[in-house]
């Protein structure tokens, strides 16, 4: 660094108005000891003592700026230097207002040096108190003063304590009348330290008054506020002050009660939340005097506010108040403060409890629950008085609607007991003590409700029963078993769907909390309802029942309660047996196929619901091998329901869920791969029937139903990690592409296409992959280039699209190359339509393949790259295309727009939007119209301004589609899009209000209810167009 040759000239240049980097140069020179701080002060001396105000300002500014630079560089001043600077700056506090900002700026840096002592602190505070009236200065200067004082409170508390009450008095004088939110944040934080660390007994009321005058905070930050001060920050900072000490209680509680009566919701909420924060700090002794007015204020907000947020805040305040009172101690023979409060509450609530149908019964329940959840003593107190009243009321009233109110309150308290047990360490026996005396009465109420003919009362009774079952240890085994019997009966026999659903939920709870009772009592009851038998033979083996579709509810119930390993040990083998029995039916009807499908679907739900339970997943893996055997045997039959597409899809979902949620699925996957790729039936302990001479070979084009089982292999392969597939990739690729081009089953073609894409995407060996790819692509293109049957070309198109998807996600160059080549097929009438319709495969996300859960290799922004590389080719070919083929290009554009990120689409919107609008004119291509409508709806919601110029042509076309579309989905999407148009600028859409309202009137007579519903909603929006502006 160049030496500072002429210090005096630099100082003079700065004082004369030159800014530049002079402070930086001087600070660096001092840090490197090229010059001393003393020499800088000597050079500035003539300016610091000048009679010219501007010279003193500039001189002080340079000195202060250098101090800030030294502070940032962590340069330390000596104790002597700090003393001299402190004396200088404190003396300069007497200077004119013009100089003062630079003085405060220097002090702000000086106080942060390590050498700044407690004596210096007292010197600065004395100077500030004596020489400055803070509120007479601008905001920036006041902020510096508050920052300096806040620093003292954080780092020099002992010095401030030595001032006793003088510092507090000075601070009150400094902050009184402050209005700027940026300063108030610092002030509130400082006052919190004062009331917690410093003596202020002489000024308790004064300190409270200068702070509480800001309550409640009424501040709305200006738009684009660079300081980022929010109302919430101010509210929380002030709340911490008001609740910071119990000495404020005699002043704060009347203030809160006064503000609680405000008409402003924000003031009510702030008062209630501040009361919640104050209660534990103020203590029971200070709250005692205000119990009655506090209860009346809270009661008013719970019963009369009508706003959920206010009710919730009021109940929370009541809970905190009761919790604080429950911790208080009283002299012998006196009622506790908690009992005093509860007497006040019961005096007002008793009449509503005695009138369960009263509209305020729900609010009364909230009040009592708020008190009960505060503490265990409060829970005892509430339940001790409430339960006798509830049982008496239930037995004395006759109408079910009134009884429902009583049962609902009981349910709420049983649920509260469960939540308190989860959140406290109180033993269950102690927590349930208030219920022991009344348990028989409670059970009588619950069972009476479940036996009634009123569905409404039954539902309340079932909810209450479920809540009681949640509380483990409340009911004994016999009582739980009795509840299980009732629930099973209602779940299977009730004519009401709601009752069956509630009963099923109750059984799920019973299974979760009492699995032993479920296995020992509930499951046998359900099993007896399945088929003609459900008992064990003399040899101990379980006979397979003769199933009929009427057994489906019981079977589904068995699976529905399978929420833990103990229950799954029984239900999963039963499920497999039921599927085996159904698969052996030679001529299954539609009802049998539907039954099999529902069981498979529920089995998948069991696996998905137990993804965190390793024991259940192990049980599933074991049973899935039996399922494989059933599927293989079923594939040899002519009409087995087990090979139905929907059944295999659900079994595949269960398998995929298992693989994705276990650490090591290698064993089961080896079984599946060995079975499908090698035809080894021994891995599933299955033998080929004597009548068949062939082996299990699902990849053979003549294998018939065996091919359908490829769905299971697909879910196994697509869910595996890349390293697991390494040894099987070549065989899988060759087998998949062959079957994809020859299979007669559409689901098989789709499955092997997905499997091929997954293998290509995850393949580690690039050279081996390229070799296989080139061969397979040659085969596919040879089919597409010949005059083959359209069916063969359709299979080749599907295989090519999946292959390209796997490559695109890993950004392989062959992906884009083949997509561009694929676009030329739009001119081929035999496959152009299919290529356009299925173009979405390239970008759409699928739950069963090529996603993060399936360990796909996904390069960053591959969709964006595809968009920018492919879209120009589509638009170029579109301009040259024949009129009859243009719809295929438009369909591809619609699919791209629907599946790329919004930010990418916006950059090319001027080019893309005209094509989308033109797509709506292709009345012959319904798939294109459906895809385009989805894209247009997304644009209207996300970028409404982009669509404005197309409104004149868009509205008539949308109205036409809404009235004449052949497909319900098209009519609904058109109506939704019309409804969204009202969010465009008013002057754009208002001229069309009459046309749209008249056009939508015809849609109100549509034959489909869903269409009529959307039409009514859209028409209402157009009726209200412009009304919000008038309001």
Predicted pLDDT of residue 535: 41
| 3-state secondary structure (DSSP) of residue 586 | coil
> Tell me, what's the pLDDT at 351?
82
CB-count burial class (<10 Å; 0-12, 13-18, 19+) for 1021: middle
Mean pLDDT confidence for 988-1012: 86
Mean pLDDT calculated for residue range 440-467: 92
- The alpha carbon dihedral of 839, 842, 843, 847 has a sign of positive
Tokens of 230: 């929010």
Residue 77 reports pLDDT greater than 60: yes
**Selection from 904, 927, 977, 991 nearest residue 947 by Cα:** 977
Average pLDDT of the segment spanning 645-674: 90
Compute the mean pLDDT over every residue in the chain, rounded to the nearest whole number: 86
Contact residues for 776 (Cβ-Cβ < 8 A; gap 6+) = 733, 737, 803
| Residue 565: pLDDT over 60 | yes
Q: What is the pLDDT of residues 173-220, one digit of tens each?
A: 999 989 999 999 999 999 999 999 998 989 999 999 999 999 999 888
Check pLDDT > 80 for residue 425.
no
Cα(273)–Cα(239) distance, rounded to whole angstroms? Answer: 8
**Beta bridge partners of residue 542, listed in sequence order:** 536
Q: What's the maximum distance between 2 C-alpha atoms anywhere in the chain?
A: 120
With beta carbons less than 8 A apart as the criterion, state whether 855 and 720 touch: yes
Dihedral class, residue 752 (left if φ above 0, else alpha if ψ from -120 to 50, else beta): alpha
Check whether 906 has a pLDDT greater than 90.
Answer: no
Residue 330 pLDDT exceeds 60: no
**Tokens at 712, concatenated:** 């299971």
Q: Does 255 score more than 90 pLDDT?
A: yes
d(CA 347, CA 853): 59
The Cα 420–Cα 413 span in angstroms is 10
908-936 pLDDT, tens per residue?
777 777 777 777 766 566 667 777 777 77
Kindly state the average pLDDT of the residues 420-428: 79
Enter the tokens of residue 222: 């200006």
| Both tokens assigned to 899 | 């599946």
Supply the pLDDT for residue 335. Answer: 61
Does residue 256 surpass a pLDDT of 80?
yes
pTM tops 0.75, yes or no: yes
Token representation of residue 1001: 């009137």
950: pLDDT strictly greater than 80? no
User: Residue 579: how many CA atoms within 13 Å on its side-chain side?
Assistant: 33
Element containing residue 179 per DSSP (H, E):
none
pLDDT at residue 701 in the model:
67
Percent of the chain at pLDDT > 70 equals 93
pLDDT at 371: 94
How open is the CA angle 957-958-964, to the nearest 5 degrees? 85
Q: What is the pLDDT of residue 331?
A: 45
Give the mean pLDDT of 52-70.
89
Mean pLDDT computed over 450-478: 91
Would the pLDDT of 390 be above 50?
yes
Cβ atoms of residues 1021 and 979 within 8 Å: yes
Average pLDDT over residues 649-657: 94
- Please report how many Cα atoms fall inside a 13 Å half-sphere around the Cα of residue 655, on the Cβ side: 30
pLDDT bin (cut points 50, 70, 90) of residue 24 is confident
Query: What pLDDT score was predicted for residue 540?
Result: 44
- For the cut 60, the answer to whether the pLDDT of residue 988 exceeds it is yes
Mean pLDDT along residues 525-543: 61
Of the chain, the end-to-end C-alpha distance in Å amounts to 68
More confident residue, 424 or 280: 280
- Determine the pLDDT at residue 916: 75
**Cα–Cα separations (whole angstroms), residue 1016 to 974, 978, 1004, 1005, 1023:** 13, 12, 7, 10, 10
**Would you state the pLDDT for residue 537?**
41
Query: Across-strand partners of 538?
Result: none
Instruction: Give the number of C-alpha atoms closer than 13 A to the C-alpha of residue 1018, restricted to the C-beta side.
Output: 31
Q: How much helix, strand and coil, in percent to the nearest 5, is found in the chain?
A: 75, 0, 25
pLDDT band at 1027 (very low <50, low <70, confident <90, very high): low
Chain centroid, CA 333 distance in Å = 53
User: Is the peptide bond between 216 and the residue preceding it cis, with omega within 30 degrees of 0?
Assistant: yes
The residues that bridge with 849 in the sheet, in sequence order, are 846
Using CB atoms within 10 A of its CB, is residue 632 exposed (0-12), middle (13-18) or buried (19+)?
buried
Q: What mean pLDDT is predicted for residues 712-733?
A: 85
- Return d(Cα 700, Cα 745) in angstroms, integer: 13
Contact indicator for 135, 145 with CB cutoff of 8 Å: no
- 829 pLDDT exceeds 80? no
Task: List pLDDT tens digits, range 222-248.
Answer: 777 777 788 899 999 999 999 999 999
pLDDT at 153 over 90: yes
Phi/psi at 611 (5° precision):
-65, -25
The whole-angstrom distance between residue 276's C-alpha and the CA centroid of its chain comes to 28
3-state secondary structure of 856: coil
Backbone angles phi, psi at 857, to 5 degrees: -85, 110
Tokens read off for 738: 């062959």
Evaluate whether 1008 touches 965 at the Cβ level (below 8 Å). no
Say which range, 318-332, 655-669, 1011-1025, has the weakest mean pLDDT: 318-332
The mean pLDDT value for 531-560 works out to 68
Q: Is 163 helix (H, G, I), strand (E, B) or coil?
A: coil
| Phi, psi angles (nearest 5°) of residue 211 | -95, -45
Mean pLDDT of 502-511: 94
pLDDT exceeds cutoff 50 at 541: no
Q: Which residues, other chains included, contact 188 with Cβ-Cβ below 8 Å and sequence gap of 6+?
A: 211, 234, 237, 238, 240, 241
Mean pLDDT of 869-873: 89
**For the chain, what percent of residues have pLDDT higher than 90?**
39
- Those residues whose C-beta lies under 8 Å from the C-beta of residue 812, and which sit 6 or more positions away, are none
Assigned token pair, 193: 């330290």
Is it the case that residue 332 has pLDDT exceeding 50?
Answer: no
Mean pLDDT of 535-552: 61
CA distances from 642 to 95, 553, 645, 951 (A): 96, 19, 9, 52
pLDDT at 35 over 90: no
Q: Does 826 or 768 have the greater pLDDT score?
A: 826
What tokens appear for 310 in the block? 């206010």
Residue found under tokens 């016999």: 478
Residue 334: predicted pLDDT: 54
Tell me how crowded residue 922 is: count the other CB atoms within 10 A of its CB. Answer: 17
Short-list 234, 321, 246, 244, CA closest to 276: 321
Measured CA to CA in angstroms, residue 574 lies from 449, 484, 650 at distances of 33, 20, 17
Query: How high is the pLDDT of residue 948?
Result: 79
pLDDT in tens, 677-687: 888 888 887 76
940, burial (CB in 10 Å: exposed 0-12, middle 13-18, buried 19+): buried
Name the CA radius of gyration of the chain, rounded.
40
Rounded to an integer, what distance in angstroms lies between the CA atom of residue 699 and that of residue 449? 59
């Amino acid at each position: 660094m160049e030496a500072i040759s002429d210090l005096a000239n630099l100082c003079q240049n700065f004082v004369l108005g030159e800014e530049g980097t002079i402070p930086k140069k001087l600070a660096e020179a001092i840090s490197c000891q090229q010059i001393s701080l003393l020499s800088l002060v000597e050079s500035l001396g003539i300016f610091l003592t000048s009679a010219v105000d501007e010279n003193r300002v500039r001189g002080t500014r340079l000195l202060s700026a250098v101090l800030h630079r030294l502070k940032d560089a962590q340069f330390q001043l000596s104790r002597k230097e700090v003393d001299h600077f402190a004396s200088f700056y404190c003396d300069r506090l007497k200077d004119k207002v013009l100089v003062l900002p630079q003085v405060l700026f220097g002090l702000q840096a000086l106080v942060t040096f390590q050498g700044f002592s407690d004596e210096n602190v007292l010197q600065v505070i004395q100077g500030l108190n004596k020489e400055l009236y803070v509120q007479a200065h601008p905001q920036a200067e006041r902020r510096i003063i508050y920052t300096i004082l806040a620093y003292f409170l954080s780092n020099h508390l002992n010095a401030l304590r030595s001032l006793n009450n003088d510092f507090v008095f000075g601070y009150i004088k400094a902050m009184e009348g402050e209005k700027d939110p940026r300063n108030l944040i610092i002030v509130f934080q400082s006052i919190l330290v004062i009331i917690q660390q410093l003596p202020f007994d002489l000024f308790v009321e004064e300190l409270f008054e200068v702070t509480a005058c800001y309550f409640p905070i009424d501040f709305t930050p200006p738009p684009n506020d660079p300081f980022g001060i929010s109302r919430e920050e101010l509210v929380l900072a002030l709340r911490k002050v008001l609740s910071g000490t119990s000495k404020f209680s005699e002043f704060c509680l009347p203030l809160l009660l006064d503000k609680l009566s405000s008409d402003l919701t924000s003031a009510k909420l702030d008062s209630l939340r501040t009361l919640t924060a104050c209660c534990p700090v103020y203590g029971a002794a200070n709250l005692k005097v205000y119990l009655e007015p506090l209860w009346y204020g809270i009661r008013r907000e719970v019963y009369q506010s009508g706003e959920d947020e206010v009710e919730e805040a009021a109940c929370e305040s009541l809970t905190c108040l009761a919790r604080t009172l429950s911790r208080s101690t009283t002299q012998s023979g006196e009622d506790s403060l908690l009992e005093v409060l509860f007497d006040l509450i019961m005096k007002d609530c008793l009449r509503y409890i005695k009138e369960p149908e009263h509209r305020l019964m729900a609010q009364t329940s909230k009040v009592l629950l708020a008190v009960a959840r505060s503490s265990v003593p409060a829970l005892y107190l509430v339940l001790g008085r409430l339960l006798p009243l509830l049982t008496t009321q239930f037995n004395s009233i006759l109408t079910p609607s009134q009884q429902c109110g009583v049962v609902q309150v009981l349910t709420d308290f049983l649920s509260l007991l469960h939540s308190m047990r989860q959140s406290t360490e109180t033993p269950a026996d102690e927590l349930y003590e208030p219920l022991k005396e009344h348990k028989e009465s409670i059970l009588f109420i619950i069972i009476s409700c479940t036996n009634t003919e009123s569905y409404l009362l039954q539902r309340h009774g079932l909810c209450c029963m479920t809540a009681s079952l949640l509380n483990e240890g409340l009911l004994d085994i016999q009582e739980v078993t009795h509840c299980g019997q009732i629930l099973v009966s209602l779940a299977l026999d009730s004519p009401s769907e709601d009752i069956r659903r509630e009963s099923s939920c109750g059984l799920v709870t019973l299974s979760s909390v009492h699995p032993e009772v479920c296995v020992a009592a509930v499951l046998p009851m359900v099993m007896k309802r399945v088929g003609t038998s459900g008992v064990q033979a003399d040899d101990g083996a379980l006979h397979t029942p003769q199933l009929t579709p009427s057994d489906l509810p019981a079977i589904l119930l068995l699976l529905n309660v399978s929420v833990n390993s103990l229950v799954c040990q029984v239900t999963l083998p039963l499920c497999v047996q039921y599927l085996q029995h159904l698969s052996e039916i030679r001529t299954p009807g539609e009802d049998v196929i539907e039954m099999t499908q529902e069981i498979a679907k529920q089995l998948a739900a069991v696996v998905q619901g137990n993804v965190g339970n390793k024991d259940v997943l192990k049980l599933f893996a074991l049973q899935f091998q039996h399922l494989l055997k059933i599927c293989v045997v079923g594939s040899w039959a002519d009409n087995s329901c087990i090979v139905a597409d929907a059944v295999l899809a659900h079994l595949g979902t269960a398998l995929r869920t298992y693989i994705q949620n276990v650490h090591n699925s290698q064993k089961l996957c080896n079984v599946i791969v060995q079975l499908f790729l090698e035809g080894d039936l021994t891995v599933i302990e299955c033998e080929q029937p004597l009548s068949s001479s062939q082996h299990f070979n699902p990849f053979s084009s003549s294998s018939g139903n065996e091919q359908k089982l490829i769905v299971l292999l697909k879910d196994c392969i697509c869910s595996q990690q890349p390293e697991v597939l390494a040894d099987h990739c070549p065989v899988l690729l060759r087998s998949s592409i062959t079957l994809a081009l020859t299979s007669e089953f559409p689901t098989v073609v789709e499955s092997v296409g997905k499997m091929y894409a997954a293998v290509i995407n995850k393949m580690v060996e690039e050279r081996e992959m390229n070799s296989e790819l080139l061969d397979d692509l040659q085969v596919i293109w040879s089919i597409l280039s010949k005059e083959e049957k359209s069916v063969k070309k359709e299979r080749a198109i599907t295989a090519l699209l999946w292959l390209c998807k796997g490559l695109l996600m890993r950004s392989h160059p062959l992906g884009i190359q083949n997509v561009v080549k694929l676009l030329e097929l739009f001119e081929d009438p035999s496959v152009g339509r299919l290529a356009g319709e299925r173009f979405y495969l390239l970008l759409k996300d699928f739950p069963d393949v090529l996603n993060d859960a399936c360990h796909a290799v996904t390069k960053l922004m591959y969709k964006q790259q595809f968009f920018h590389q492919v879209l120009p080719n589509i638009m170029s070919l579109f301009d040259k295309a024949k009129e009859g083929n243009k719809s295929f290009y438009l369909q591809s554009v619609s699919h791209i727009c629907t599946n790329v990120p919004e930010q990418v689409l916006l950059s090319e919107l001027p080019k893309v939007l005209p094509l989308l609008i033109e797509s709506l004119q292709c009345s012959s291509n319904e798939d294109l119209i459906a895809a385009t409508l989805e894209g247009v709806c997304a644009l209207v919601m996300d970028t409404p301004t982009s669509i404005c110029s197309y409104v004149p042509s868009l509205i008539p076309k949308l109205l036409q589609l809404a009235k004449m579309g052949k497909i319900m989905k098209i009519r609904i999407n058109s109506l939704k899009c019309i409804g969204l148009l009202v969010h465009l600028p008013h002057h754009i859409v208002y001229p069309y209000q009459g046309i749209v309202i008249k056009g939508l009137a015809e849609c109100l007579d549509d034959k489909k209810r869903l269409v009529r519903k959307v039409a009514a909603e859209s028409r209402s929006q157009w009726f209200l167009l412009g009304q919000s502006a008038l309001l």
